[in-house]
Structure 1
């Protein structure tokens, strides 16, 4: 057998083995058609919301986020967590429905049966003239005057935490001060009782009280008690503050008021009540 015939037979045998092994020889010709990848349509808002809900359900949560406790048990748990900090303070958070845009944020005054910290003194500015101005000064107002105080408030020379006004001056000060004090929630208003003929009486009622106020998302926070207090004092403070907030937000009304308005729906529905401490978890209260 010649050398050429032997080489030809070897190439044929090698090709046959290659086919048996499942190999395929490719040529260098240009690709005629590329596979097109399908573009995914963007998710709708409903699909995105459903995806977010699934992620939230899968996320790890603190056991106290879903579990509710009676008030007594919650106090005991936090007291055990803060055993090394007997002078730590309980914080109470009352979450209501968020106020609608342009709605009035709920606020009010309270005086706890036992104060956990010294009361902050209000700096009171009163718009009044004549006898009303004299009575306001005697009652303890820090700044008393008429329309001439407006310029000082705008420039920042006169600053206060509360502004009161007699009815005869409210129209004179509103055009200029409404844009300054309004966004801060400090503008005198008849609805809130800060425009009154009895300015001196209002100031006397303020003495010994603190102000509570909700925020834009409907949360009301306050320091409510100390860890080393007797259990009865802590519960008394919490129950008292809850009652004050419930009345102001429409969650607790007399049957007569409900009949007059024709509805039992509160203005700001309370969603949850949470008790916490500096190093402890936030525990949802079941019996509020």
Structure 2
């Protein structure tokens, strides 16, 4: 058992016995700070990815291949800016493929099934959605079945799954939509002005996690650069956390 202790601008990991020994001594805080100042190998508050994973694995109580790392990217701007959203295909995928619903008929329906869509159909799919609790996180439509969408508009709209031409989710080219949905992960800026997204499992190597983090940060910066208007939005800071563990700031400029 270990204890993660943060004092001032430094933090360190002590074994449970070391922590108790320090705590039971008089002038605990003063002695602890003195010990930190004498040792140069304790990391500063902002850590590299290998340093952060060392601490997070020590304090996380999750099973390595079940628990996940979460990256939080805080954004800053000099004025109100449009919300940032985008997609990323991680170099090291780790999440289960999403369930996809496609409204299509004929050859388009056959193609959607071959590409890996979970639910495909037209009138029969409308009835299933109206009567059965189907679970899916992506929904597309071919123009030959788009006329059926108003029948399930209320159900799909409440889940933000309603296909539309404006969003590009109604198209006669279903292949790129489905392939992208199966490999890419959506992200969106929240009301607090940050983007939070899982970036890997606790069982990942430092290299795999580093590459996923770099891919996400680069992707977000590319998305920010394309935001409409003259407002400049940049990455303020980046934090890495793990299941049931604290968030640690990373050394990212």
Report the alpha carbon displacement of residue 152 of structure 1 after superposing the two structures with TM.
2.4
Report the alpha carbon displacement of residue 245 of structure 1 after superposing the two structures with TM.
2.8
Residues 1:192 and 2:170 aligned together: no
| 1:237-248 equivalent positions in 2, closer than 5 A | 237-248=212-223
DSSP-derived class of the 1:82 partner? helix
Report the alpha carbon displacement of residue 76 of structure 1 after superposing the two structures with TM.
0.8
Structure 2: any 5+ residue segments left out of the alignment? Answer: 1-5, 10-43
CA–CA separation in structure 2 for the residues paired with 1:139 and 1:81: 38
CA–CA separation in structure 1 for the residues paired with 2:7 and 2:144: 56
Equivalent residue in structure 2 for 1:265, among 232, 239, 242: 232
Equivalent residue in structure 1 for 2:117, among 116, 131, 141: 141
Identify the structure with the greater strand proportion: 2
RMSD between aligned alpha carbons?
3.7
- The residue that corresponds to 1:165 in the other structure is 141
How many residues align structurally?
A: 207
Equivalent residue in structure 1 for 2:72, among 64, 87, 93: 93
Report the alpha carbon displacement of residue 92 of structure 1 after superposing the two structures with TM.
0.7
| 1:44-59 equivalent positions in 2, closer than 5 A | none
Residues 1:252 and 2:217 aligned together: no
Residues 1:124 and 2:100 aligned together: yes
Report the alpha carbon displacement of residue 79 of structure 1 after superposing the two structures with TM.
1.2
Equivalent residues of 1:275, 1:283 under 8 A apart = yes
Residues 1:287 and 2:242 aligned together: no
Over residues 42-76 of structure 1, what are the superposed CA-to-partner deviations in whole Å (9 max), with x where a residue is unaligned?
xxxxxxxxxxxxxxxxxxx9857xxx95551x641
Equivalent residues of 1:106, 1:214 under 8 A apart = yes
Equivalent residue in structure 1 for 2:241, among 253, 270, 276: 276
Equivalent residues of 2:73, 2:235 under 8 A apart = yes
Structure 1: any 5+ residue segments left out of the alignment? Answer: 1-60, 98-102
DSSP-derived class of the 2:183 partner? coil
Equivalent residues of 1:111, 1:210 under 8 A apart = yes
Report the alpha carbon displacement of residue 123 of structure 1 after superposing the two structures with TM.
1.8
Report the alpha carbon displacement of residue 188 of structure 1 after superposing the two structures with TM.
1.0
What TM-score comes out, normalization by structure 2 length? 0.63
| 1:209-220 equivalent positions in 2, closer than 5 A | 209-220=184-195
Equivalent residues of 1:120, 1:210 under 8 A apart = no
